[in-house]
Amino acid sequence: MSKLTSPQINQKNPVHIERNSGLNFDPSLFTHININRSAVERRAATLGKRRSVKKQHQAAWLLKAITFIDLTTLAGDDTPGKVKRLCQKAKNPVRKDILQALDVEDLNITTGAVCVYHNMITTAVESLKGSGIPVAAVSTGFPAGQTPLNIKISEIDASVAAGATEIDIVISREKVLTGDWQAIYDEVKAYRSACKEAHLKTILATGELATLTNVAKASWVCMMAGADFIKTSTGKEPVNATLEFSLVMVRAIREYFELTGYKIGYKPAGGIQTTKQAIEYMILMKEELGNDWLTPELFRFGASSLLGDIERQLEHHLTGSYSASYRHAMS
């Protein structure tokens, strides 16, 4: 099994992660999986209640949360102007006076990445030049993925050529629902190959997979096929990231790590809008996978409005007064 070395995603605080080279397709690793939904729900419900992060700790955690954000715009009306604004925000996610007051200026906090459609890659790469912030592109017929495989692969090729260093693909939900795991494996493996040095995030679209058991199995197949990250959602499904999906996926990551030694990243996306939610997800990562995963190389939020809530909360931490959104720069 050849093990590739990953490029440094975050140049300011590099963490060396040995890149997942995948496994041969082996159904025996996942066919036995049977997830108990009620039990998962109970664990998810208490995760955020067994741990609490307050005061100084909360401020530090929220700053960390910013570094996990894939600051995202995925809309039909995206324009270069909009994307430039987003990139500026990614580089300067928090008002300078707040950073000064928190005494964290030298942490050089930025978001984890900027995430756009293919057509906006060039603008984003240009805007982020020198910042070390990677550009992620959604791909493979995002969000539904109902396009021919060759076109999907060409799309990846084009995005990588345009400078995206992270590719967020969608898997074929139809193949999950019909139980054709081999086909999922084959397509994801092909995507990984097309990605070359770019990192592959596989979006399961968990809200369309019907059961938690399917979510777990799809997680396994994607990791086997060489995914660097597994990601919940496009943000376009009726149900996006939840703690329940996350619990199932990070447990799969844990078992895959125990089996292979590879650390796979995790990205919940869609619907994560509040600091409370962000902290719950971080608690989940810390409890289920440990501190190793609390790094942008292995954990991202796919979120657009979360940052604004974090900024308000940071200002509240300093002043004791609840903040207003217009006091913070928009993206």
Partner 1 sequence: MSIKEIFNTMDYGTAPENSSVAKAWLQNKNNSFDHYINGQWQSPSDNKYFPSKNPANNETLAQVADGNSTDVDAAVKAASKAQKAWYALGGHKRAKYLYALARQIQKHSRLFSVLETLDNGKPIRESRDIDIPLVARHFYHHAGWAQLMASELPNAEPLGVVGQIIPWNFPLLMLAWKVAPALAMGNTVVLKPAEFTSATAVLFAQVCDEIGLPKGVFNLILGDGKAGQAIVEHNDIAKIAFTGSTNVGRIIRKATAGTGKKISLELGGKSAFMVFEDADLDSVVEGVVDAIWFNQGQVCCAGSRLLVQESINDKFIAKLKARMDKLVVGDSLDKSIDMGAVVDQSQLNTIKKMVQLGLDEGASLYQCKTGTPENGCFYPPTLLTNVEPASTVVQQEIFGPVLVAMTFRTPKEAVQIANNSRYGLAASIWSENINLALDIAPQVKAGVVWINCTNMFDAAAGFGGYRESGFGREGGKEGLYEYVKESWQSQLSTKSLTKAPEKALIKNKASTKAASKQQIDCTAKLYIGGKQTRPDNGYSLPVFDFSGVQIAEVPDGSRKDVRNAVEAANKATGWTNTSGHNRAQVLYFIAENLTARQDEFCQRICQLTGKNAKDAEQEFSLAISRIFTWAAWCDKYDGQIHQVPTRAVSLAMKEAMGNIAIVAPEEAGFLGMISTIMPAIALGNRVIFVPSEQTSLLATDFYQVLNTSDLPAGVINIITGDRDSLTDTLAKHYDIEGFWYWGTSEGSKLVEFEAAPTMKRTWVNHGKYFDWYNNEQAQSELFLRNSVEIKNIWVPYGA
Contact positions vs partner 1 (CB under 8 A): 32, 34-43, 46, 49-57, 59-61, 63-64, 102-104, 106-107, 210-211, 251, 282, 286-287, 291, 294
User: Shortest distance, CB of residue 62 to partner 1, whole angstroms?
Assistant: 10
Minimum gap (Å) between residue 13 Cβ and partner 1: 9
Nearer to partner 1, 52 or 193 (CB): 52
The β-bridge relationship of strands 113-116 and 69-72 is parallel
Of the two residues 39 and 151, which places its CB atom closer to partner 1 in the complex?
39
168 is annotated as an active-site residue: yes
Nearer to partner 1 (CB atom), residue 104 or residue 144: 104
Is 292 among the catalytic positions?
A: no
Q: How many CA atoms lie within 13 A of 253 on its CB side?
A: 27
Q: To the nearest whole angstrom, how small is the minimum distance from the Cβ of residue 52 to partner 1?
A: 4
Angle between helices 121-128 and 80-91 (to 10 degrees): 40
Minimum CB distance to partner 1 smaller for 107 or for 144: 107
Task: Round to whole Å and give the CA distance between 318 and 284.
Answer: 26
Type and span of the H or E element at 114:
strand 113-116
- Using CA atoms, how far apart are residues 258 and 251, in angstroms rounded to an integer? 11
Instruction: Give least dist CB 282 to partner 1, A.
Output: 8
Spot the catalytic one: 64, 189, 231, 236: 231
Q: Are 186 and 156 in contact (CB under 8 A)?
A: no
231 carries an active-site annotation: yes
CB of 103 to partner 1, least distance (A): 7
CB closer to partner 1 out of 50 and 96: 50
Given the residues 70, 168, 228, 309, select the one marked as catalytic: 168
Residues found in the chain? 331
* Catalytic residue chosen out of the listed positions 89, 201, 217, 267: 267
Residues 315, 94: Cα–Cα separation, whole Å = 10
Q: For residue 58, give the amino acid letter.
A: Q
DSSP strand pairing (135-138 vs 265-267): unpaired
Residues catalogued as catalytic: 168, 231, 267
